């Protein structure tokens, strides 16, 4: 499914609170991903991570000025790995998380 992000807040612990276009809101932890490549090196700085994050205007996801980005679907599956397993099967290296689905009041 193709999700869009309607709102997001970055946190100093390298988590993001994301609200998708279907109204579901959850936390996605990005610390494990930030350790995987040089494009994410700048994002390890908590102040930069929080202050520079924005919802991408030209595609569904979050982005930072250094070129680091995360897709809306990838964030959704990080927050709800059981959805990813349902759609794609097991994801190597993905630890199940107990995210709670919440809906924003309309």
Sorted by where each begins, the domain ranges of the chain are 5-91
**For the whole model, what pTM was predicted?**
0.77
Q: What is the block-wise mean pLDDT of the chain (106 residues), using blocks of 10 residues?
A: 88 95 92 88 95 93 93 91 71 52 47
Which region holds residue 67: left if phi is over 0, alpha if psi is between -120 and 50, else beta?
left
Q: Say if CB 29 and CB 12 are below 8 A apart.
A: no
The pLDDT assigned to 92 comes to 55
Which CATH architecture describes the domain 5-91?
Answer: 2-Layer Sandwich (3.30)
The pLDDT assigned to 44 comes to 95
- How far is the C-alpha of 106 from the C-alpha of 83, rounded, in Å? 24
Q: Say if CB 10 and CB 4 are below 8 A apart.
A: no
- How far is the C-alpha of 53 from the C-alpha of 68, rounded, in Å? 9
The pLDDT assigned to 95 comes to 56
């Amino acid at each position: 499914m193709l999700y869009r992000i309607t709102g997001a807040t970055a946190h100093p612990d390298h988590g993001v609170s994301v609200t998708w276009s279907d109204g579901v809101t959850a936390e996605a932890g990005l610390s494990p991903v930030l350790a995987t490549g040089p494009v994410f090196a700048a994002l390890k700085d908590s102040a930069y991570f929080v202050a520079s994050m924005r919802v991408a205007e030209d595609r569904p996801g979050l982005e930072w000025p250094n070129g680091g980005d995360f897709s809306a679907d990838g964030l959704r599956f990080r927050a709800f790995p059981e959805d990813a397993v349902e759609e794609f099967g097991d994801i190597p290296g993905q630890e199940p998380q107990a995210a709670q689905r919440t809906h924003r009041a309309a």
